[in-house]
Amino acid sequence: NWRAAVCREKYLHCIAAKIIQTKWRSYVFRKAYLQYKAARKIQTNWRGAICRDMYLRTIAAVMIQTKVRRFVSRQKFLQYMAARKIQSAWRSFFCRQEYLQYMAARTIQTNWRAAICRDYYVQTIAANMIQAMWRSSICRDRYLHYTAAKIIQTHWRSYLPRREYLTFLAARKIQSCWRGSIYRKEFVAFKSARIIQTAWRAFVCRKDYVEYFAATMIQAKFRACLVRSAYIRYRAASLIQSAWRSYDCKMNYI
C-alpha cells in the first residue's frame, strides 16, 4: 500500500510535470510562431511596396519609351511616305512620257507598214488576177482536149466489151445446152441405179428382219420354258418345305 501510494504520487508528479512542460513548450512555440508570422507579414508588405514601386517605375519608363519610339516611328513613316509620293509622281511622269513617245512611234510605224502592205496587197491582187486568167485559159483548153479524148475512148471501150459480151453469151448458151444434156443423161442413170439399190436394200433388210424376228421368237419361247420349269421346281420345293415345316412345328408343339 505504501509503495503503491509512493508510486502513485510519483506518477502524478510526472504527469503534472509533463503537462506543465507541454503547456510551456506550446506557449513558447506559439509565441515564436506569432513572431515569425508578424515578421513574415512585415517582410511581405515591405517587399510588396518595393516591387510595386519598381513596377510603377518600369511602367513609367516603358510608357516614356513607347511614346518616344512611336514619335520616332511616325516621323520616319511620314518621311518615307513623302519620299515615296515624290518618287511615284516622278516615275509616273517619266513612264507617261515614255508611253507617249512609244505610242507616237508605234502610230508612225503602223501607218508606214499599212501603206507598204496596201501597196503589196494591190500588186499581189493584180498579179493573182493575171495568173488566174492565164491559168483558167490553159485549163479550159486542156479540159476541152481531155473531154474530147475521153468521149472517143469511152465509145471505143464500150464497143469492145459489148462485142466480147455478145460472144460470151453465145458461147455460154451453147455450153449450157451441152452440159444440160450431159447432166440429164447422168441424172437418169443415177435415178435408175438408185431405184435398183433401194429395192435390193429393202429386200436385204426385210430378210434380216425376218431372221432376227424368228430368232427372237425362238429365244423367247426357250427362255419362257426355262423360266416356267424353274418356277415349277421352285413352287414344288416351296410346297415341300412348307409341309415339312408345318409337320415339324406340329411335332414340336405336341
Among 93-97, 159-163, 247-251, the range scoring the smallest mean pLDDT is 247-251
Q: What is the DSSP secondary-structure string of 134-170?
A: HHHHHHHHHHHHHHHHHHHHHHHHHHHHHHHHHHHHH
| φ, ψ of residue 133 in degrees (nearest 5) | -65, -40
d(CA 82, CA 90): 12
Cell numbers found for residue 71: 514619335
pLDDT tens digits for range 84-101: 889 888 888 888 888 898
CA distances from 121 to 29, 109, 115, 132, 200 (A): 123, 18, 10, 16, 103
d(CA 75, CA 68): 11
d(CA 165, CA 145): 30
Our measurement of the distance from residue 91's CA atom to the centroid of its chain's CA atoms, rounded to an integer in Å, reads 57
Cell numbers found for residue 238: 416351296
Rg (CA), the chain: 75
The closest alpha carbon to 219, from 207, 211, 208, belongs to 211
pLDDT at 244 exceeding the cut of 80? yes
Please give the pLDDT value at position 254.
Answer: 59
pLDDT tens digits for range 128-149: 888 888 888 888 888 888 888 8
pLDDT tens digits for range 194-236: 889 988 988 998 888 888 888 888 888 888 888 888 888 888 8
Cell numbers found for residue 29: 512555440
* 254 three-class SS: coil
The closest alpha carbon to 231, from 223, 220, 219, belongs to 223
% of the chain residues with pLDDT over 70 = 98
d(CA 194, CA 211): 26
